Amino acid sequence: MTIQWFPGHMTRARRQIQDKLKLIDVVIELLDARIPLSSRNPMIDEILQNKPRLVLLNKHDLADPEVTSQWVAYFAEQGLQALPVDAATGNQMKEIMARCKQLMADKIEKQLSKGVNPRAIRALIVGIPNVGKSTLINRLANRKIAATGDKPGVTKAQQWIKVGTEMELLDTPGILWPKFEDQQVGMRLAATGAIKEEILYPEEVALFAVRYLASHYGTSLQERFGIARLPEDPGDTDAIIEVMEAIGRKRGALLSGGRVDLEKASLTILRELRAGKMGRVSLESPSDIPDPASVTEER
Ligand code: G4P
């Protein structure tokens, strides 16, 4: 799903989520495990305020497990529990329920001490488009929930979906916008497929991806495309373009006259990356976060 976000849509999306917050106990914030910060809404803390929250690092099957562990530690430092999951295969569904229950433990305890039988925990899934919200709802519900008009500005009656006996889920997730004004964020979103190519040039996105792969996953890149040597300096754009051209030749992405069709080569690289053909790859790690001190100095 691609949504064109305008300020009016953002305001409406935010208002819709805030209206739903009144109905729910726990927010399940879905992020892409390969790019947790880039797939995050920049105003999330403000929007969710102090609602108990569980962060899910989805598509963990495609992400580098070592980097995902670093992200779990990163979120723990911010006081947030983060759980790596694969909504597509449905692993960890029981753990999601257990964690939500844990987040509500105090409230449940209080109700029990007053002799009140705690009602099912009510949860809302929020996240940017394509992060896996519908897939997760279907997994938790254990059936296919009809895709609804979950577009910003489109309202409909809310339905609760039973997840076991102890949890209920709102059938319509909250859709949030990413921080696309940051160019690096845009590249990461595009490289993982959260933003479609029509918006950005595939050559530019593939250049970003190959540069990142060359500096973090060089061996996987070499093995996948049979590249003998990678540039010593991944910052050298011409050298990275040469790698892309070598990949294009390997994959037969050629124009008449034998020149490499760089657009076709780029689309191939991105397709294979998104399908996990280069192994489990993360495109963002906590060490990529700029040091706030150095950002201030640049101003
Ligand atoms: P959304 O509601 O947040 O917009 O996302 P949705 O569930 O539609 O999921 C977007 C795509 O991500 C789907 O691929 C879905 O199968 C995939 N996906 C969701 N969870 C996982 C996961 O844990 N692992 C992997 N590998 N993929 C996951 P799709 O239907 O093929 O869509 P697309 O590829 O055409 O965008």
Q: pLDDT for 124-168, tens place per residue? A: 999 999 999 999 999 999 888 766 545 555 556 778 999 988 899
Q: Is the CB of 128 inside a 6 Å radius of any atom of ligand 1?
A: no
By DSSP bridging, strand 167-170 and strand 121-127 are parallel
Lookup result for tokens 């053909």: 277
Domains defined along the chain, listed by start: 7-171 (3.40.50.300), 201-284 (1.10.1580.10)
Is 226 part of any known ligand binding site?
no
Angle at 34 between CA 30 and CA 36, to 5 degrees: 45
Q: Is the CB of 3 inside a 6 Å radius of any atom of ligand 1?
A: no
How many angstroms separate the first and last alpha carbons of the chain?
37
For 190-242, what is each residue's pLDDT tens digit?
A: 999 998 766 789 999 999 999 999 999 999 999 999 999 999 999 999 999 99
Nearest alpha carbon, ligand 1 atom 6: 132
- Non-local (6+) Cβ contacts of 116 within 8 A are none
Mutational pocket test of ligand 1: of 93, 135, 270, 278, the residue with most ligand atoms within 8 Å of the beta carbon: 135
**Cα torsion at 7, 10, 12, 16 (round to 10°)?**
-170
Which atom of ligand 1 is nearest the CA belonging to 138?
7
Threshold 0.80, pTM exceeds: yes
Is 162 part of any known ligand binding site?
no
